[in-house]
Amino acid sequence: MTAYLLLIGAIAAERVAELVASQRNLRVSRARGGVEFGARHYPVMVVLHTGLLVGCVVEAAHREFLPALGWPMLAVVVAAQALRWWCIATLGYQWNTRVVVVPGARRVTGGPYRFLTHPNYVAVVAEGIALPLVHSAWITALVFTVLNAALLRTRIRIEDEALRSLHH
């Protein structure tokens, strides 16, 4: 359980690093005339992602580590982090935890965006399933996945509307 708590702590630290990068990018985007779309869903997203980490810790305290499940799920978590940071690096200042569009900016089509419209959400979905399952927290994985699907439906609609506002 100690190793799992360290993993959750590392993911929490990664989230803090994301928020720092997001705030920096928000300042840059706003200085360039950036406009935020769909701000009302953002607090729900913060609560849901915080709940994922809390749920992992609470439920894992009552579950066993099953190596046949835990190790492959850890590999998925690591791959999800790599994909997430590839997205962040590819988008540069345009990446944000909020939906912010800079008027006149070009839509990014490089990196993982060559293959998928929303690759970061692939990382989010994979991590939301795999992180709890590293320590057999299947209820957390199920609840997060269902709630996240509803949130992503809203988020992707908002993001697609925002992206359509870009001039090509």
Domain ranges of the chain: 2-164
* Mutual angle of helices 2-31 and 67-91, in 10-degree steps: 10
Do residues 11 and 53 lie in contact, with contact meaning Cβ atoms separated by under 8 Å? yes
DSSP per-residue string spanning 65-81 = --HHHHHHHHHHHHHHH
Q: What is the pLDDT of residue 165?
A: 81
The correct CATH number of 2-164 out of 1.10.357.10, 3.20.80.10, 1.10.10.10, 1.20.120.1630 is 1.20.120.1630
pTM: predicted TM-score of the whole model, two decimal places = 0.93
Residues 42, 57: Cα–Cα separation, whole Å: 23
Q: Which of 156, 125, 148, 131 is nearest to 46 (CA)?
A: 148
pLDDT (0 to 100) of residue 134: 98
pLDDT in tens, 97-154: 999 999 988 889 999 999 999 999 999 999 999 999 999 999 999 999 999 999 999 9
Please check whether residue 162 is in contact with residue 103, taking contact to mean a CB–CB distance below 8 angstroms: no
One-letter amino acid at 167 equals H
Q: Using the structure block, give the residue that is written with the tokens 């993993």.
A: 7
